[in-house]
Structure 1
Amino acid sequence: MISSAIARILRLCSVAGLAISAHWAAPAWAAGAMTTGGLTSQPIGHYDFCKSNPGECNIRPVNLDPAKMTDALWRRLTSVSAGINAGVKPMSDLDHYGKDEVWAYPDDGYGDCEDYVLEKRRVLYRMGMSLADLLITVVRKPDGEGHSVLTVRTDKGDYVLDNLTDKVRAWDATGYRFLKRQAIDNTGRWVSIRDGQAVLVGSVQ
């Protein structure tokens, strides 16, 4: 059965989708694809998440091709991201669970950045996307603080869904430094991201 929290989030996604459709124009898809390196360490929060949810951390997607970007997929990504951003209330792990670095689905309606990522990944997967194209990603913000986002792989480049903005952005237009992400061929493994310094559009090189 679908939880009331998830049902509420899906309703918000639908409402967000209607609002986006009313003001929607085709984006200029121009993202590049991240260059990944070798296997790297698994974030401790994901390690603990995998101990609690082992079935989610040994999936090996069969189709490793990036998702085909279409107008419909763009609208779906934007509406899901905006809907979940609206449906989940931000709360630190320390306030929520009494300790740091707890990765969990925000079924009670509260969460921090990793929890938003997990929920967006879960919803998009249930909508038919491959887990090879929905990758939990660890970044560093310009202020040096660690952060997590969802990377969506497409044939038009890699895009980021972020709880700090409702906009779906090209990964290299976020201003984040990209550190590591899930491997496309195994949901329990992580790879480094080479030359992971994304730049703000219009910034001085």
Structure 2
Amino acid sequence: MRRMPILAAIAAAAIVIASPAAHAGLLGAPIGLLSAIQRIKFEAPALAPMAHTIFCLRYEDECRARLLFRGGPILLTEARWADLKDVNLAVNRAIIPERNELGLAGETWLIDPERGDCNDYAVTKRHRLLKRGWPARTLLLGEVVIPSGEHHLVLLVRTKSGDLVLDNLTPQIRPWSRAPYRWVRIQSPGNPRYWTTVAQRGV
């Protein structure tokens, strides 16, 4: 990552200091300056996961390109931070974890199922935040590889304080830079049906 100009760094630090309540609780402590300014870098167009294409046929409104889709990350206010914590906790508790033993052949992405895997948690969190008025451009499904080598789906939330990860494997909402995953592809903020690859950290 390129070094920020000194004035920009000071300004970013001032933003973090000015709104500590909105950031408190990330990994149990306020996020630092570097975490606050680090964001996903979209790279090249990528094929959407086949299961997501099927998901869009089932839930057309979830994949609708919206007229107000343009714009950048959203300001992380105290109310929005409360939204994230509430939805993340509620969905993690509501869905009974059930492993998909059939691989790609058995992969379905469902909103609010009684039982499900990571895909169901991620799309349900996105759905609930959309219902609360969050812009679709800030709620991106992301495919990652976890340390065990398995592919996994999470929800990335784009805020002006940095990109945050909502994950069913942990109750914590983590800055993108602190999630120990390799990113494979992610929804485009310009259109939820399109996906892109992700630049490696530090590039």
Task: Give the TM bin, normalised by the shorter chain.
Answer: 0.7 to 0.9
Structure 2, unmatched stretches of 5+, are 1-23
Secondary structure of 2:158's match? strand
1:87 is aligned, of 65, 70, 94, to 94
In the other structure, the counterpart of 2:31 is 28
Distance across 2 between alignment mates of 1:61 and 1:171 = 27
1:176 is aligned, of 160, 175, 181, to 181
Give the direction of change, closer, same or farther, for the CA distance of 1:138–1:51 in structure 2 (3 Å limit).
same
8 Å Cα contact 1:68/1:154 also seen in 2: yes
Secondary structure of 2:171's match? strand
Distance across 2 between alignment mates of 1:44 and 1:89 = 24
In the other structure, the counterpart of 1:72 is 79
2:60 is aligned, of 54, 57, 60, to 54
More displaced, 40-49 or 52-61? 52-61
Total equivalences in the alignment: 173
Secondary structure of 1:165's match? coil
- Root-mean-square deviation (CA, aligned residues, Å) is 2.4
Give the direction of change, closer, same or farther, for the CA distance of 1:196–1:26 in structure 2 (3 Å limit).
closer
How far off its partner does 1:94 sit? 4.5
TM-score when normalising by structure 2 = 0.77
Map of 1:42-191 to 2, 5 A cutoff?
A: 42-60=48-66, 62=68, 63-94=70-101, 99-107=105-113, 109-191=114-196
Distance across 2 between alignment mates of 1:55 and 1:75 = 25
Distance across 2 between alignment mates of 1:121 and 1:184 = 13
Percent identity of paired positions between Structure 1 and Structure 2: 33
Give the direction of change, closer, same or farther, for the CA distance of 1:157–1:59 in structure 2 (3 Å limit).
same
**Alignment of 1:41 onto 2:44:** no
Give the direction of change, closer, same or farther, for the CA distance of 1:53–1:159 in structure 2 (3 Å limit).
same
TM-score when normalising by structure 1 = 0.76
Give the direction of change, closer, same or farther, for the CA distance of 1:196–1:143 in structure 2 (3 Å limit).
farther
Q: Which amino acid aligns with 1:69?
A: L
How far off its partner does 1:45 sit? 0.9
Structure 1, unmatched stretches of 5+, are 1-22, 198-205
Distance across 1 between alignment mates of 2:144 and 2:61 = 25
Q: Which amino acid aligns with 2:91?
A: I
Q: Which amino acid aligns with 2:159?
A: T
How far off its partner does 1:64 sit? 2.0
Cα distance per residue 1:117-150 (max 9 Å; x no partner): 1110011111110010000100000111100000
